[in-house]
């Protein structure tokens, strides 16, 4: 990285290739309005002083500007050439008006900086430009201990994310929990969607402990999705009870995690098979694991529709196994035989290497059967 680029980055002047969906310039300009009066007063005093020295004592224009500057700022370098009595009276008047102007201007500027939001707005503006460069990220709504743990997992797996929370101290929260991107806004508002660049996100995750917050957010995201006319967002939410889980799914959430139920299943698995306690941690959640698991959706126009699983040759060629099939109506077939026929809009649960699963996904989504199969 060049020295110039490092300086620009340190000052927040990086080259911005993406523009935020919400523009803060109008708000920043409104905060800069108090600065106009001091600037106008300084210019007026400088013009009056320069013209006064030219007219009264016949100063050359550059000498008049210089004399006005040192007099107006009360630097006190003295007269650069002899000044008449009228000129000295004019100088005293200029000093008084200059001191008054500086006093008023200083008070206005301090008031604008201390009481205004100028510094915070510039920080937010820089953050919005950084978020605007994200693509296929997740927007996590509401900060709590769930969010903090999820953020750790996302960072370990290099998954980009933005945290949205209305807390006044969200900047401090972000520093403590290592959130690289954050937005201070009410999660259910369209303003939060614009600032977090939800339009280019892969999905939204609502982790509020209040079911009403989760319901409001899911409905808002689905409405925003329709306004954009884009592919459905992947919406994930958490629930405190099984009943809440059912309600959130009916209202539009794709995935709902019931925390007590999930914990009970994990503890039960540990109690029944203690030796298998760390299998999920080692092979599914661990960073850079050699084994991965993914569910692949079978499109209606896929060449695999109405063919048997063995016709795909995934195990022979890519070392990938189909360990489950979820049919369109929801029926799950565990450890299907090779003679099971694949139906349209079903989901294949694959296990294998990350590279093998990625290649399998491409093959399954083809409309025409590949020649090498």
8 A C-beta contact, residue 102 and residue 39: no
Closest by alpha carbon to 15, among 27, 4, 26, 25?
4
Q: Please give the pLDDT value at position 29.
A: 78
Task: State the Cα angle at 260 between 256 and 263, rounded to 5°.
Answer: 100
pLDDT of residue 102: 82
Q: What is the pLDDT of residue 7?
A: 59
pLDDT tens per residue across span 317-347: 888 999 899 998 888 898 899 899 999 999 9
Specify the pLDDT at position 147: 93
pLDDT of residue 237: 93
Q: Which residues in the chain show pLDDT less than 70?
A: 1-17, 76-77, 116, 260-291, 373
Task: Note the pLDDT tens digit of each residue in 147-183.
Answer: 999 999 899 888 999 999 999 999 999 999 999 999 9
pLDDT digits (tens, 9 = 90+) for 168-222: 999 999 999 999 999 999 998 999 999 999 999 999 999 998 999 999 999 999 9
pLDDT, residue 141, reads 96
pLDDT at 370: 85
pLDDT at 22: 83
| pTM for this model (two decimals) | 0.62
Domains and CATH numbers, the chain: 34-115 (1.10.287.70), 134-265 (3.40.50.720), 290-373 (3.30.70.1450)
Buried b (16+ CB within 10 A) or exposed e, 12-44: eeeeeeeebbbebeeeeeebeebeeebeebbee
Q: Where are the beta strands (DSSP E) in the chain?
A: 138-141, 161-165, 182-184, 203-206, 234-239, 255-258, 292-297, 321-326, 332-334, 347-352
């Amino acid at each position: 990285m060049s020295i110039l680029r490092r300086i620009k980055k340190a000052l927040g002047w990086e080259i911005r290739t993406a523009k935020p969906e919400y523009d803060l310039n109008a708000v920043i300009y409104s905060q800069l309005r108090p600065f106009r009066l001091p600037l106008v007063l300084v210019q007026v005093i400088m013009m009056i002083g320069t013209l006064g020295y030219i007219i009264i004592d016949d100063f050359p224009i550059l000498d008049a500007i210089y004399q006005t500057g040192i007099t107006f700022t009360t630097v006190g370098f003295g007269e650069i050439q002899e000044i008449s009595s009228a000129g000295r009276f004019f100088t005293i008047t200029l000093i008084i008006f200059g001191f008054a102007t500086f006093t008023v201007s200083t008070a206005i500027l301090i008031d604008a900086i201390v009481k205004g939001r100028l510094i915070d707005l510039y920080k937010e503006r820089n953050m919005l430009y950084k978020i605007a460069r994200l693509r296929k990220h997740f927007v996590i709504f509401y900060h709590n201990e769930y969010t903090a743990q999820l953020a750790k997992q996302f960072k370990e797996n290099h998954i980009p994310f933005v945290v949205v929370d209305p807390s006044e101290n969200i900047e401090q929260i972000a520093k403590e929990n290592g959130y690289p991107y954050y937005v201070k806004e009410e999660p259910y508002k369209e303003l939060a969607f614009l600032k977090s660049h939800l339009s280019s996100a892969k999905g939204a995750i609502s982790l509020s402990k209040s079911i009403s917050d989760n319901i409001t957010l899911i409905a808002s995201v689905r409405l925003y999705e329709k306004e954009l006319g884009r592919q459905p967002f992947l919406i994930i939410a958490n629930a405190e009870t099984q009943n809440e889980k059912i309600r959130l799914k009916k209202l539009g959430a794709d995935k709902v995690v019931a925390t007590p139920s999930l914990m009970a299943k994990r503890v039960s698995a540990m109690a029944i098979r203690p030796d298998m306690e760390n299998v999920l941690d080692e092979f599914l959640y661990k960073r850079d694991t050699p084994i991965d698991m993914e569910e692949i959706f079978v499109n209606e126009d896929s060449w695999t529709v109405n063919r048997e699983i063995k016709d795909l040759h995934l195990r022979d060629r890519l070392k990938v196994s189909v360990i489950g099939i979820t049919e369109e109506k929801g029926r799950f077939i565990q450890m299907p035989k090779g003679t099971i026929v694949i139906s349209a809009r079903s989901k294949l649960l694959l296990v294998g290497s990350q590279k093998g699963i990625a290649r399998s996904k491409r093959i399954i989504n083809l409309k025409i059967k590949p020649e090498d199969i």
